Each structure stands twice: as C-alpha cells, then as structure tokens.
Chain A
Amino acid sequence: MKSIKRCQLVMTLFLLGFLVGLGVLTARIYKDAPFYITHSDNYRLGRVYDRYDDVLFDGTNKIDKPANYLIDVGNLIGDDKGQMENTLVAQNIDKLSNYSFNSGINSKDGKAAIYTTLDHTANRAAYNAFQGADGCIAAYNYKTGELLVCTSLPNIDIRNGYAGIENMKSGTLMPKAMYGTVPGSTQKVSTVITAMEILGQEGLFAKSYSCGGYFMNGTGGKIDCHNSWGHGTQNIQQAVENSCNPFFAQLIEDGDMPLESITEVYTRLGYDVSNSKDEEDEETEQEYIDIDGIQCFKASTTLTDTSDFSTQWGCIGQGETLASPIQLMMWQSAIANGTGKMTMPHLIEKVTDVEGNVTETAHTEYSEQLFSSETAASVKQILLTNGANHYQYSIPGYKVAIKSGTAQVKNGAEENALLVGFVDDKDFPIAFCVVLENKYSTPAVAENIVTTMLNSLSR
C-alpha cells in the first residue's frame, strides 16, 4: 500500500543518508590514516639506505655504528624532529610511513624504506678530505642522474640530537650544496657558453683581447686581473686557462654581445636574471630545483648594462651572482653529455612500502635544451684542454674537464676555492662541484678532495 511504502521510503532515505556518510567516513579514514598515525606515540618511521644498503636513517633509532658514523650525510638525510626542513626525510616523510591501514600499527618490522643513490663511503672519504675545513662537495652520475656524493661541513650526526643547537656553526643544519654561493670564476663557464651561443664557435675563437693586469671599462670601472702583470693578448682558450678577468670584461662589453642576448641565454641556463639595479626589486617568487622534494637554490644574477661594472663582475662570477654547487654541477652535465641538456639529479633510487613492495623507482630525466650541442662540444673541448694542461698531476688518473674558481666572500675577507668539472669517461661519468671555504686557513686542497672522492667512487 502506498501509505506504508511512503514510510519505508522515508526510512530508506534516512538509512541511505547514513550509509553514504558511513562510506565517506570509511574512505576518509582509509585515506587519512597514514596522517592520523603520525600523531601517534607508537608510530615509527622506516629506514633510509645508501646505494650499498648502508643504513643512513632508522625511525627506531637503532643504528649500531660508531659515533659520528653518519656525520657526512646528517644535514642531507635529516630526520623527523622538525629541526631541519629541507632534508630527504623531512620532505619524504610519508614515503617512510611504516604503516598501512590493512595491518594497523601492529606491523613491528615494517619494510618501508627509501633506497637512495648516495655512496656513503665516498661521502665519508670526501668529508674526511676536507680535514675539518668548511665547504661542500657534490657529485653525480651525469648519465643516470644518480646523486652519489653530497656532503657539507660542518655537519651533524642526527643520532646525537640537537643539544647545543645554539652553539652550532651556521650552515650545520643545511646541505650547503643546495644553497647559493658565490661561484667565482666557475661562472666563466656560463659566460663562455653564452658567448658561444651568441657568436658561434668561430666567432668566439676569432675574438681576442689584451690584458694588461686590469681593464678600464666603458663606464670607467676598473676590472682587476689576478695577475697584475697581465696576460697579454689571448683567445678564449687561453683566457679560460688563465681565468683572465679583463678578457671576459671586454668580451661582455663587445658590441657583438647585446645585453638582451646575454640575458636570454642566462635565463635559458636557469638564472633568475634581474635587469634592474634597484636593490628593492619586487620580491619575485623564489624558484627552486626540486631534487626528490629537497629544494635546491636556483642561480641568480643582475645584468643591467654590458659596460657596467657590476654586470661585468656578475659574468665573471663575483658581484651579485649566486649559484648553488648542485646547479654548477648540473651545467657540467649538459656539457659532458654533449647534448646541451642537463641530467636532472635524483636522490631516491626506489621506495618500498611497509610490506616491502616497491612503490616507486627512479627514472633519468633531462632538462630542456639549454644550449646547442655544438656549443656543448666546443666548451667541452675548452674545459678538457684546461684539465689536461693544468690538472693532469693534481687530479691524476682521470681525464677531467674542469674549471676552477676563486670566490671572494665577506667583502674580500675570505676566499673560497671552487672546482667544477666532470670526468670524460663513458664508464665513469661523474660530474662534480666542490667548494672549499676560506681556502687559506686550511691545509685541505680542493683538487685533493676531488681526487679522494673520485678514487673512492671508482673503488
């Protein structure tokens, strides 16, 4: 009867409403449980391994290793304490969730883990080679993008906790390779690429400028050379090998190098180029290079006028130019590959869930075309020649393409030594960048650090 049916209809509506709610609730709980569980006292994270299954992080804090065993990777791997945000664990904490709703919290020996591409032994060797000096080093396989070494000093072993955090040296809690630094003459690699892109290989090699120890530029600024006797007349190959500042100042000022073209190539390379001299430039959104969630500083510089002092200094690697060691290293990969495309570095090789199933595996990715392959080949030749002529004995046993740099920081009070380059060997394709801070205060030498690291990597 309709009247009774109507009662049943009303009941059905109420029941259906409730059931829909219950369905939504169940779905929501199922979806959000991994988040809820992070607030639980019984919750533990999984592990982080290096490429040879050495444990770099364990949610249960059961790494039975000597003190400071993890001091080379502490500020890169990080932990879940919330002190360091820009670290692998902090940014990928959900992948370490040793929990699934299917088994509840009972799964005591969950297999959730991140397998990184890092080589802990090589990291440690490089760390030791700094001999306590501050600085950082990064290296990766420019064919696959596996980040093999990324350490910085000072550093911490996360197992020690954060007691005495107020006395820690600045930079302890950040992976320095990810942050901007003054590139010094390593910036000249970018400038060579830029000039090559604008002038072409023959056009650039046709240019020669003379260096008399300094150069008075078009606006009356004085660009000093590190060799006060001057280098005489040089072509681009000699200028790179001499790292001659006046040469590059004159190259920038050359009428064949319009500012728009320089800006265009720099932007393509990934610089955040500011064209205004105003310090109070409107705050643009800072962009980052993303390495498995870790934010890596993106290079920036200021270009206002090709005959301007600070613009020229910017292209030489001082002034307002900043770049992160990782990015310097990535540009090397674009040269080393011979394609003009960077290999994007990655840190996570694979991820396993609580039951040990692989949920994620890494793939090699490349950037957009930064410059032509012809440019890549020419610059590669210039850098290889530089390496062969000057680093044959300091980095023995490897066919390296390299560019050194000296960056003045703290208004010239300290000088950082930099080396960027790559090993030109298809079986050992390593691109690297090292920054040795305050190079005169330490017995460590950048070349030795690179050699030690390469030896350790090729063991």
Chain B
Amino acid sequence: MSGVLSYLLSCIFVVAVHGSMLMSVYNNGNYASVNDVITLSAAVVLLDAVYFVIMPFFKQRTYAVDFMLLLILNMSMIFQSCFGGVHFETKHFITIIAALVSCRIGYILCRNHRWIQTKKKFLWAGIGILLVVIFLFTGDRSMWIDFGFMSIQPSEFIKPLLVLACATSIAEQQNRHKVMEFNVVYDNLIVFGITAVVILFQWWCRDLGSIPTFAAIYASCFFMRICYPKAKFSRKTIIIAGSVVAVAAIIGIILAPAYVKARLFADIWSNPNEDGYQQTKALIAIAEGGWFGKGAGNGFLHEVFAYESDIVFATISEEWGLLFAIMTVFMLLLIVAMPLVNPPRSYYHGTMCAGVCAAFTMQMALNIFGSCNMIPFTGVTLPFISAGGSSMVVSGLMIGMIVAAQSPVFANPSKKKNNKKKRRKV
C-alpha cells in the first residue's frame, strides 16, 4: 500500500517540478508566441503521463530510478528547448525517448546477473567489433560515423560494454588458475587487456576526452577485484598504494615538461578569442547568470559553438542560474547514487553500479570542470543534459543497469548452462 502511495507521490512531484519549470519559462522566458511554450508543456507533460502509465506494466520491484530518469530527461528537454528562445527541440525529444527505451533494454538485459555473466564472451566480442568499426568507418582519426541523416559516435557504445565486462561476481574471482606459481584469474587479465586496448585505441584516435572515462571504469573495477584473488591485499595496502599514486601524480604535475603544463594550466584570459574561446565565454555566461539566471532563452551563450553539448552546464547556468544548474547536476549524481540508498543484492550488480557511477561522475567532471577551465577542456558530453543521440542512448543503457540492480531477478538462466557453470567451478 505504501508502495502505491510513494509511487503516486513521486509522480506528482516529478510533474510538479516540470510544471514549475514551465511556469518559469512562461514568466521569465524569451518566446515569440505563447504557443511555443504550450507545445513544449504539452510534450513534456504527455511524456510524463505516458511513462507513468506504462511503467507499472514492467512489474519492477523499484521505480525510484525511473522517476529520476524521467525527471532529468524532461528537465533536459526544457533546457534544450529554451536555448536561444523557446522552441520545440524535436530532435532532442526523439533522443529522450530513445534514452527511455534504451533504459528499458539495459534493465531487461542486466536484471538477471547470472544470465548476463554467461554472455561475457559476447561483450568482449562487442567491444572488439566496435573497435573494428571505429577503425574502418570513422573518418580520418575522428570519432564520428556520418550516415548523412545522423552521425554516431561508436566509442560511446564501448562504455556500457566495458562496464558490463568489468563487473564480476565473487564466484568468478575465486575461479583461480595456477600459472607459474601465480594464482591467476583469467577474467581479470582479459579485462585489463581489453581496457588497455581500448585506451590505446582511443589515444590513436585522438579521442582523448573519453580515455579518463574508460580509465575510471577500470579503476573502479580494479579496486573491487584487487581484494579477491589471493586475499593478500589489506585495506592498509590499498590506502598506501593509493596515496603513493596520488603523490606520484602530484610530483608528475610539478615536474611535467613546460608544454604539458601549458596545456594543463593554460591562461585562457590572456587571449580570450583564441584557445580558450569556449571556456571564457562559458565563464562569462555563468558570471552574467549569477545564482538565479537571466530567464530561459535570454542568454547569449547559444551563439557559441557546442553550447548544447560541451558547455551545456554554462548555458543552463546562464539562463537558469548556477543554483539550478548545480541542483540539476545533483539530480544526476542522485541517480547513480541510488544503489547507496537501496543496495544491490549481488556482487555483480554492485560492481556494475560502481562502474556506472565511475563513468557518470568522470564524464560529468570532465564536462563541467573542463568547460569551467578547472581541467583541460576535452569536449565530452554531460549525460542526459547534452544534446546528442549516442550519448543519450548510452547513458540510458547505463541507468538501465542501475534499475536492474535495484530490481534484480534471481533465476538460473537454464539448466544446461547452469550445469556447465557448475562443472567449471568445481
């Protein structure tokens, strides 16, 4: 009973937030005719309503993450539709629906961790195929495949695959093999190899922006695997190793050659129309917006390249205020932090959530801190907020994994496979 109540309560509040935002657009926004605002409102509220009706049919155990996803996606829809004057951003609306669909797909694929574990070979193959696709079809060291009517960024799709490949169960970690005095878990080596190949490949593609994300996914998975194979890594060792790495990184930054430092600590203000054009404009826009913003559609940042993707945080900040932009980011954090409130029931799902969390936080950090000139500007997208189909679908898939971890299904895939697994284990 309380479940139904909290479901309804959540519905009401999600719609209330969207309604309040739309009111804000109506009051402070920059629109040519009220019809634009009405169209937008209708689309947003309709999507909310349809989703609320459809969702119970999935008979999930939890819906909180879905509510959050819908909340953020429609917020994103309102943001994107208001940049440079209120209009209906059809393309973004389609990608939002794609994200919702891909979230369902992610959920269905991952809810049974036993089943997805038996498919690990397909994951590895998938990453391999994507790498080959990138190698063959993207332009000269670029990261896009252009289909004419749309372009796809295949490297994005490696992210969820890598998250799944990095996730592991305890049983898998205890499946040790003795190779020359060493206890080796094959899966660990394979994951390490895959990550190394992916990162090197991205380096070759000059897609430097996504490397930290892959590295973060692997770091989270490495942290969770390091405890198990031989049980020799105590907490102390990990803390010491971590601090050694941190100190080494600091020393490295201090001793780095001049041109690396120039890249890291570029003074964008000395020449604001060249290297740091986007960052300076973004920072000026944030400053102009202040805490409470100029009102939807009143900003100037929509005249700057990549306003809807790479520096979207600043664009929102300018129009809606830094306070609201930060709270939007908090909502994004909250989605990936949901497993902290409602913990998963299996280690595979736990590691999967950690991987998703690592990917999201790293990507958000690169986008937000990069556009505000705290770290080098790399031009990655802000999950769900930036426009862009590939990013949207992939982020949806990853949130689907979190939904799966919250509403898992514990069932043996099929007798045959189960037996096979048993034999290997014993």
Given a CB threshold of 8 Å, the question of whether A touches B is answered with yes
A residues whose Cβ falls under 8 Å from a Cβ of B: 3-4, 6-8, 10-12, 14-15, 17-19, 21-22, 24-26, 28-29, 32-34, 36-37, 39-40, 42, 99-106
A-contacting residues, B248-306, CB 8 Å: 269, 272, 280, 283-284, 286-294
**Residues of chain A with a CB closer than 8 A to B227's CB:** 6
CA distance A15 to B374 in the complex (A): 18
Chain B residues near A33 (CB, 8 Å)?
Answer: 286-287, 290
User: Chain A at the B interface: mostly helix, strand, loop or mixed?
Assistant: helix
| A to B contact number (C-beta, < 8 Å) | 126
The residue among B290, B333, B365, B368 with the most chain A CB atoms within 10 A of its own CB is B290
Bound-state CA distance A24–B374 (Å) is: 9
New A-B pairs, 7, CB < 8 Å, besides A18-B333, A25-B372? A14-B354, A14-B358, A17-B365, A29-B286, A33-B286, A36-B283, A105-B289
Bound form: Cα–Cα A245–B152 in Å? 91
Q: In the complex, which residues of chain A have a beta carbon less than 8 angstroms from the beta carbon of B326?
A: 22, 26
B337 pairs with A11, CB closer than 8 A:
yes
Residue of B nearest to A100 (CB): B290
Q: Which of B8-16, B92-100, B339-347 makes up part of the contact surface?
A: B339-347
Instruction: Name the A residues within 8 Å of B290 (CB-CB).
Output: 33, 100-106
Chain B, residues 348-368, CB within 8 Å of chain A (1/0): the string is: 001101100110011011001
Assembly CA distance A42 to B301 (angstroms) = 13
In the bound complex, residues from chain B placing their C-beta under 8 Å from that of A104 are 287-294, 321
The reply to whether B220 and A10 contact each other, CB–CB distance below 8 Å, is: yes
Please tell me if the beta carbons of B361 and A15 are within 8 angstroms of each other in the complex.
Answer: yes
Measured between alpha carbons, how far is A93 from B169 in the docked complex, in Å?
62
Measured CB to CB, the closest approach of chain A to B349, in angstroms, equals 8
Given contacts A3-B350, A4-B350, A106-B294, contact A22 B368 (CB under 8 A): yes
B223 at the interface (CB under 8 A from A): yes
Nearest Cβ in chain A — how far from B350, in angstroms? Answer: 3
CA distance A105 to B291 in the complex (A): 10
- Determine whether the beta carbon of B216 is less than 8 Å from that of A7: no
Cβ-defined contact, B284 with A39, below 8 A:
yes
A101 and chain B: residue at smallest CB distance: B290
In the docked arrangement, what's the CA distance between A18 and B357, Å?
11
B329 at interface, CB cutoff 8 A: yes
- Give A25 to B375 CA distance when docked, in angstroms: 11
Selected A-B contacts with CB under 8 Å, 18 pairs: A3-B170, A4-B344, A10-B358, A11-B220, A11-B336, A11-B358, A14-B358, A15-B336, A19-B333, A26-B322, A26-B326, A33-B287, A37-B288, A39-B284, A101-B322, A102-B290, A105-B287, A106-B294
Which B residues form the contact surface with A (CB < 8 A)?
170, 216, 220, 223-224, 227, 269, 272, 280, 283-284, 286-294, 321-322, 326, 329, 333, 336-337, 339-340, 343-345, 347, 350-351, 353-354, 357-358, 361-362, 364-365, 368-369, 372, 374
Establish whether residues A36 and B333, one from each chain, have CB atoms under 8 Å apart when the complex forms. Answer: no
Nearest first, the 9 closest Cβ-Cβ pairs linking A and B are A104-B290, A7-B350, A33-B287, A36-B287, A105-B288, A11-B357, A18-B361, A37-B287, A14-B361
Cβ contacts under 8 Å, B344 to chain A: 4, 7
Contact B340 A11 (CB under 8 A): yes
**A101 in contact with B287 given A8-B343, A12-B340, A26-B326 (CB within 8 Å):** yes
- Is there an interface contact between A37 and B354, defined as CB atoms closer than 8 Å? no
Q: Note all chain A residues with C-beta closer than 8 A to B321.
A: 104
Q: How far is the CA of A337 from the CA of B272 in the complex (A)?
A: 52
Point out the residue from A8, A99, A106 that lies within 8 Å of B340, measured CB to CB. Answer: A8
Most buried by B among A7, A28, A105, A106: A7
> Are A11 and B339 in touch, CB under 8 angstroms?
yes
A36 B284 Cβ-Cβ under 8 A: yes
Which residue in chain A gives the minimum CB-CB distance to B340? A8
B361 and A7 contacting across the interface, CB-CB below 8 Å: no
Decide: A40 and B333 in contact? CB cutoff 8 A: no
Residues of A within 8 A of B288 (CB): 37, 40, 42, 104-105
**Contact (A11, B354) CB under 8 Å given A17-B361, A18-B333, A104-B293:** yes
- B233 to chain A minimum Cβ distance, whole angstroms, is 12
* Cα distance, A42 to B288, chains bound together (Å): 9
Q: Which residues of A contact B372 (CB under 8 A)?
A: 25, 28-29
Contact A18 B350 (CB under 8 A): no
| Cα–Cα, bound, A268→B24 (Å) | 66
In Å, the complex CA distance between A15 and B289 comes to: 26
Q: Select from chain A the residue with minimum beta-carbon distance to B352.
A: A7
**Is B329 a contact partner of A3 (Cβ separation < 8 A)?**
no
Chain A residues within an 8 Å CB radius of B289: 104-105
- Evaluate whether A39 and B347 lie within 8 angstroms (CB atoms) in the complex, with A24-B374, A28-B374 already known: no
Q: Is there contact, CB below 8 Å, between B291 and A7?
A: no
Question: Are B354 and A7 touching (Cβ within 8 A)?
Answer: yes
Cα–Cα distance between A22 and B375 once the two chains are bound (Å): 12
Taking the closest CB of chain A, its distance from the CB of B166, in whole angstroms, is: 11
Q: Would A18 and B337 count as touching, CB distance under 8 A?
A: no
Residues of A within 8 A of B336 (CB): 11, 15
Expressed in whole angstroms, the minimum distance between the Cβ of B240 and any Cβ of chain A is: 16
Residues of A within 8 A of B369 (CB): 21, 25
Beta-carbon contact of A14 and B368 below 8 Å: no
